[in-house]
Amino acid sequence: MIERLQAGHRFALRSLLSLAARRPVDSLLARLMKAAQRRSRCERRPLPDVLHELHERVRTCVRRRLKRSGAGDLRSARGWKSGCCSSAPRFVGDGSLGGLCRWLRAAGYDAEWKPGGAAVDAAPPISGGESPILITTNSRFLDRPDMRSSAVRVLWVPSNLRRIEQAAWIMRELSLTIRRPRCMVCGGEIVFVEKNSVAARIPPRTARWKDAYQLCRACGRLYWEGTHWEKIRAQLDRIQNE
Ligand SMILES: [Zn+2]
């Protein structure tokens, strides 16, 4: 478990450092990883926690350096922002990432997961154009030589984080902001509808106190902002402000 988390952090740190470095990052990466192990031992703190802190610090430094140099945000520096600047990235992950994908949908991003892990393990590198970003917690998958290419759209996510923390990690890794939510069931676009047009589907008690309703264009699920959604919104606001 620890070894796999270390391998994932090494991959994620290498990706980050490469965005702002003028020379190969191998020696710097090795020094940072050793320093984290030393710190974990000296301070008697779990190594995953220390690595997480290290990653957050490095990300902040890289983001500031990119901004100073006019290289844009973390997503454009990776070359993963194509077409219209306002276009949102899409995500695809393996079957274990269903909960994470639902949080990404709530944050307004198109995200889907494939059954099982084989879909991601066997997936060819995703690169270029408008292709989705592959998200994975599987660090063994990252050992493939082709995963080192900066053109490959793959983002490792720590498996020891809660689902919403994983969503926050992805958003920070790509400088993303909260958007209008998508359907948490199918990922489809949600649009406002006239109350009268869906009156037959609204529970009577809800109809008495709610006037705004939204419909998923893909699966037809009806939404209104009740207490459940308010809790989701509060958690999204919190990760946005972290
Ligand atoms: Zn839907």
Query: How many angstroms is it from 190 CA to the middle of ligand 1?
Result: 8
Residues 139 and 223 in one domain: no
Residues 194 and 129 in one domain: no
Residues 74 and 152 in one domain: yes
Residue 183 lies in a domain: no
pLDDT at position 164: 93
Query: How many angstroms is it from 127 CA to the middle of ligand 1?
Result: 27
Query: How many angstroms is it from 219 CA to the middle of ligand 1?
Result: 4
Query: How many angstroms is it from 64 CA to the middle of ligand 1?
Result: 38
What is the model's pTM?
0.88
Ranges of residues in the chain with a pLDDT under 70 are: 82-86, 116-130, 146-151
193 beta partners:
213
Q: What is the pLDDT of residues 103-150, one digit of tens each?
A: 999 999 999 988 765 545 555 555 555 678 889 998 877 777 766 666
pLDDT at position 40: 96
pLDDT at position 163: 94
Residues 105 and 222 in one domain: no
80 beta partners:
none
pLDDT at position 127: 57
Residue 121 lies in a domain: yes
pLDDT at position 233: 86
Residues 165 and 200 in one domain: no
Residue 180 lies in a domain: no
Residue 235 lies in a domain: no
Output the six-digit token pair for 31.
Answer: 């020094």
Which of 140, 173, 206 corresponds to the end of one domain? 173
Query: How many angstroms is it from 112 CA to the middle of ligand 1?
Result: 12
| Domain total of the chain | 2
Query: How many angstroms is it from 1 CA to the middle of ligand 1?
Result: 35
Residue 237 lies in a domain: no
